[in-house]
C-alpha cells in the first residue's frame, strides 16, 4: 500500500480519529493483535458512511427536477423521477446495512490484510462512481418545453447508471470469494 493511495489516506484518517485509548492499548501484545485489522474494519465503516452520504446527496437534485415539472404544470412528467429516488434509497440502505460491512460476512471469517486492502480499494472505486453519478444528476437542465421522451430517456439512462452501481455493490463480496 503506497503512502498516497486512497486507502492509506482512509487508514491514516482512522488512526488520527481513533483516540489515545486505542493507541495505548495497541502497544500491548495481546490488544495489539486483537486490534491489528481493526483499522481496516473502521476504514470500511468510514468508507460506507461516506458512500451513503454521497448517494443521499443525489436525491436533492432529482427532487428539484421534479419540482420544476410541478411548477411548470407538466402533468405528463410529474412522477417520472420517483423510480430514481426509490432506487437511491434502496442502495443507501444496502450500504449502511450490516450485511454490507465486514461484520456481515460471518463470525468464523478472518480476512487477510491484502483482502481488506482490496475491499478498501473496491469501496474507493464505489465512492468515485458515486461522484460521477453526482455530476450526471446535476447536468440536466430541462427547458420548460422539454419533450416527454427526452425526460424518459434521461431517467432511463440514469437508472442504468444506478443499476451498474448496484451490480458493483453486489460484486463487492467477490473480493473474499475469489471469483
Is residue 156 classed exposed, middle or buried when 0-12, 13-18 and 19+ CB atoms within 10 A define those classes? Answer: exposed
Neighbours of 36 (CB within 10 A): 11
pTM above 0.75, yes or no: no
Residue 155 to residue 27: CA distance in whole angstroms: 53
Burial class (CB in 10 A: 0-12, 13-18, 19+), 42: buried
Cα dihedral 4, 17, 36, 10 sign: negative
Q: Record the cell numbers describing residue 63, joined without a space.
A: 427532487
- Print pLDDT tens along the chain (179 aa): 455 666 666 666 656 656 555 565 566 666 655 565 566 677 777 778 888 899 999 999 989 888 888 888 888 778 888 888 999 999 898 888 744 445 444 444 556 667 777 777 787 888 888 999 998 888 787 887 888 888 889 899 999 999 999 888 888 767 666 65
> What residue segments make up the domains of the chain, in order of their start?
38-176
* E strand spans, 45-166: none
- Which of the 8 DSSP states describes residue 178? T
Amino acid at each position: 500500500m503506497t503512502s498516497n493511495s486512497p486507502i492509506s489516506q482512509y487508514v491514516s484518517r482512522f488512526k488520527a480519529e481513533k483516540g489515545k485509548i486505542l493507541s495505548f492499548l495497541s502497544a500491548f501484545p495481546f490488544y495489539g493483535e486483537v486490534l491489528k485489522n481493526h483499522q481496516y474494519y473502521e476504514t470500511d465503516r468510514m468508507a460506507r458512511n461516506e458512500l451513503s452520504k454521497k448517494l443521499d446527496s443525489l436525491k436533492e437534485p432529482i427532487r428539484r427536477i421534479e419540482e420544476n415539472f410541478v411548477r411548470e404544470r407538466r402533468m405528463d412528467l410529474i412522477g417520472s423521477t420517483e423510480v430514481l429516488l426509490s432506487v437511491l434509497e434502496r442502495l443507501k440502505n444496502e450500504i449502511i446495512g450490516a450485511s454490507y460491512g465486514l461484520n456481515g460476512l460471518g463470525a468464523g471469517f478472518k480476512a487477510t490484510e491484502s483482502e481488506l486492502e482490496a475491499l478498501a480499494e473496491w469501496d474507493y472505486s464505489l465512492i468515485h462512481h458515486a461522484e460521477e453519478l453526482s455530476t450526471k444528476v446535476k447536468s440536466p437542465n430541462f427547458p420548460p418545453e422539454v419533450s416527454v421522451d427526452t425526460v424518459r430517456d434521461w431517467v432511463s439512462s440514469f437508472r442504468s447508471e444506478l443499476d451498474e452501481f448496484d451490480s458493483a455493490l453486489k460484486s463487492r463480496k467477490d473480493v473474499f470469494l475469489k471469483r
